[in-house]
Chain A
Amino acid sequence: TQLLEQSPQFLSIQEGENLTVYCNSSSVFSSLQWYRQEPGEGPVLLVTVVTGGEVKKLKRLTFQFGDARKDSSLHITAAQPGDTGLYLCAATGANNLFFGTGTRLTVIP
């Protein structure tokens, strides 16, 4: 049973387009993290959101934590080929993280 569902599973867009990916759950979490994983490498943390309704920006990436702390979204403005990768959300448990299924993004030059 997956605690976190991510959508879409796959996304292929042209360079310069905007996109949003989602991370949803029926459970409430104290915080949520977003990671990006490039082929052949381990995931790398992008951001941690803690407060319901919180919005964080990282250059062209905007992360939002839902008001009820059950969901989150990642919006990328003017996508670049360097944004290509697997985006994973992860909810924090007592001692570990619970990862979502991931969204595989391909940005075509």
Chain B
Amino acid sequence: NAGVTQTPKFRVLKTGQSMTLLCAQDMNHEYMYWYRQDPGMGLRLIHYSVGEGTTAKGEVPDGYNVSRLKKQNFLLGLESAAPSQTSVYFCASSYTRGTDTQYFGPGTRLTVL
């Protein structure tokens, strides 16, 4: 089992460019999440999904869109990147909600110039 994988690992964008981050999990988990991690801010939830075909907003959803067309994949899109979106992005998945363990991917480091 690969667990949770993320592509790409690193990316540099110019302001206004778009990109999609891919998250894949092979644990048959229902729940998937996208977080961003910034110094001194901890992990903040961007969007999450409670099952295939569903998405919901988290704490900091502005400037991002997501899609969950397949149960194993959760895509995070930036339509028009801004320097404020420079961050490390983590995807996670869990079997259920609440106290269930979240399994994290290795992260994507994004720099927007």
Q: Which A residues form the contact surface with B (CB < 8 A)?
A: 2, 4, 6, 9, 30-31, 33, 40-45, 48, 50, 88, 90, 92, 94-102
Contacts and interface: CB of A to CB of B under 8 A. Distances in A.
Contacts of B1: none
Interface residues of B, number: 25
Nearest to A42: B104
B48 A45 contact: no
A42 B43 CA distance: 11
Given A31-B99, A96-B48, A42 B105 contact: yes
A95 B48 contact: yes
Given A92-B98, A92-B99, A96-B97, A42 B41 contact: no
Given A88-B43, A92-B98, A95-B50, 18 more contacts: A6-B42, A31-B99, A41-B107, A43-B90, A43-B102, A43-B104, A44-B104, A45-B101, A48-B101, A92-B99, A95-B97, A96-B33, A97-B45, A99-B35, A99-B44, A101-B40, A101-B41, A102-B42
A98 B90 CA distance: 14
Contact of A96 (B58, B90, B101): B58
Given A96-B58, A101-B40, A101-B41, A42 B107 contact: yes
B98 A100 contact: no
Nearest to B47: A96
B69 interface: no
A41 B48 contact: no
B42 to A, nearest CB: 4
Contacts of B44: 99
